[in-house]
Each structure stands twice: as structure tokens, then as C-alpha cells.
């Protein structure tokens, strides 16, 4: 019975420490902020743009997508996006043929280099779009990635 008591005290004190850190401002509250549910549930690029607050996106050569041409495993496809557009405010990564197109969204703070990277899940070969918001406008670049082994149940 002593072991259960110790585990309960340990878990309780850990939870109390996290709560105290949040209330003291030690942990970032933005990590617990609301997320754009409509954008992440959107099924196509037009709906994602609408949920993000835009109407359309202009093609731009100032957005560079670094990703493999052929991904051997669709469950973990590395994708990096760099923006050379001045005043970049956010970078979003969309996978066109996924059930929910928006795979990731990054807010870019002023003075921060607009360069992000992550791994996305792709169920099949698809276009991957990088959408950049800068100066209230939206810009897009596209790269086709072929998947040899599906990541969404394939």
C-alpha cells in the first residue's frame, strides 16, 4: 500500500508543479491556446484558405519547399518550407489528397527566420502546397511527392 501512496503523491506533486508554472507564466500559454479547428478539418485548399482568413493565394517563386520527390514511407515524409517573402507572418503545409488537407500551421514572429520543417503523413502520391501569409496576402508554392508505401492505412 505504501507504493501506491508514493505514486499518488508523486503524480499529484507533478501536476501541482505544472499548474504553478503555468500560473506563474513560466510555461508558454500559447501552447494551450485555441487552434483553428475549421482549417484543420477543411477538405481542400480553397476551404483551408477561407478558414485561415484568405480568399485566394498567388503563386510565388520566393517560397522554397524541400521534400523528397519520392517518399518510401508515406507515414513520415519530411517537408521543409522557407519563405523569402518580406514580412512573412505564417507558413502552412497542405497535402492535397489527404482527408484533411492542412497538415501543419506555423506562426512566424517578427524578427524570426521564416524557415520551418516537419514530417507529414501522406496516404498517397499528392501535391504538397506551402501557403505563406505576408502583408495580409497569401502566396503558394507546390511540389508533387510520390509515395511508394501509404501512410494513412496503406
Per-residue pLDDT reduced to its tens digit, 99-132: 999 999 999 999 999 999 999 999 899 999 999 9
User: Is 122 a domain residue?
Assistant: yes
7 and 78 inside one domain: no
76 and 40 inside one domain: yes
51 and 25 inside one domain: no
Per-residue pLDDT reduced to its tens digit, 84-94: 999 999 999 99
DSSP string, the chain: -HHHHHHHHHHHHHHHHHHHHHHTT-S-GGGGS---HHHHH-SSHHHHHHHHT-S--EE-TTEEEE--SEES-TTSEEEEEEE-STTEEEEEEEETTSSS-EEEEEE--TTS--EEEEEE--SSSEEEEEEEEETTEEEEEEEEEEESS-SS--
User: Is 152 a domain residue?
Assistant: no
Query: Total structural domains in the chain?
Result: 2
101 and 128 inside one domain: yes
* pLDDT of res. 153: 45
Per-residue pLDDT reduced to its tens digit, 41-50: 889 889 999 9
- List the domain range (segments joined by +) for residue 112: 34-147
Amino acid at each position: 500500500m505504501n507504493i501506491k501512496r508514493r505514486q499518488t503523491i508523486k503524480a499529484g506533486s507533478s501536476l501541482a508543479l505544472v499548474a504553478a508554472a503555468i500560473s506563474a507564466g513560466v510555461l508558454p500559454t500559447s501552447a494551450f491556446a485555441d487552434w483553428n479547428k475549421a482549417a484543420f478539418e477543411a477538405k481542400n485548399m480553397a476551404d483551408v484558405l477561407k478558414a485561415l482568413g484568405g480568399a485566394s493565394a498567388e503563386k510565388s517563386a520566393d517560397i522554397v519547399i524541400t521534400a523528397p520527390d519520392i517518399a518510401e514511407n508515406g507515414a513520415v515524409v519530411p517537408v521543409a518550407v522557407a519563405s523569402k517573402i518580406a514580412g512573412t507572418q505564417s507558413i502552412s503545409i497542405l497535402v492535397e489528397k489527404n482527408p484533411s488537407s492542412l497538415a501543419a500551421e506555423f506562426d512566424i514572429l517578427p524578427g524570426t527566420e521564416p524557415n520551418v520543417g516537419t514530417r507529414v503523413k501522406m496516404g498517397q502520391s499528392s501535391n504538397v502546397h506551402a501557403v505563406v501569409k505576408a502583408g495580409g496576402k497569401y502566396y503558394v508554392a507546390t511540389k508533387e511527392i510520390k509515395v511508394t508505401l501509404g501512410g494513412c492505412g496503406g
